[in-house]
Amino acid sequence: MSAPSRKSAIAAKAWQLFFDFFISTRNERDRSLERRKLTPNDNRALMSLERQPGKTMGTLAREWHCDASNATWIVDRLERLGFAERKLSPTDRRVKLVVLTTPGARAQSEIMKEFRTPPPGFLRLQRADLQALVEVLRKLAGPPRR
């Protein structure tokens, strides 16, 4: 076996293990969303919203890779939960913008805090292993974004 194929086999195994670990911790993330009456798809939509200036339904449909009627349905759900609202555009009163509400911003922040809390499996690792993992993940992420 040549060196490149061994490297790709190791990369495939590392990715498989990483992916399987991530999937195995899904229940914790799902419980966080269920407490807020959100589905994973709702959460993906919620995380793409902002307080200002807001986004049009067409923009959201493109970002969410869905048709406009599906985007409308998702925004309706987020509005019923109090996480989003539609507002008139200040530059074109024919256009409505979807903006994040104060409770929506709070939910975004709380969800990210919960999602970024390490699962118990991480805490079973030795400090040196955790530090090595941090260094590897930094390499994968590339240079810091500005």
Q: Which domain holds residue 89?
A: 3-141
In a domain, 54, yes or no: yes
In this prediction, residues 21-39 reach a mean pLDDT of: 92
In a domain, 100, yes or no: yes
Res. 141 pLDDT band, cuts 50 70 90: confident
What CATH number does residue 24 fall under? 1.10.10.10
Indicate the pTM of the whole model: 0.79
Buried b (16+ CB within 10 A) or exposed e, 71-97: bbebbebbeebebbbeeeeeeeeeebb
In a domain, 146, yes or no: no
| Helix, strand, coil fractions of the chain, as percent rounded to 5 | 65, 10, 25
In a domain, 12, yes or no: yes
Amino acid residing at 75: V
Domain count, the chain: 1
Amino acid residing at 68: A
SS3 125: coil
The answer to whether the CB of 51 falls within 8 A of the CB of 105 is yes
Residue pLDDT, tens place only, 85-116: 999 888 888 888 999 999 999 999 999 999 99
Predicted local distance difference test score (pLDDT) of residue 142: 80
Predicted local distance difference test score (pLDDT) of residue 89: 85
Q: DSSP readout, 130-145? A: HHHHHHHHHHHH-SPP
Residue pLDDT, tens place only, 33-78: 999 999 999 999 999 999 988 999 999 999 999 998 999 999 999 9
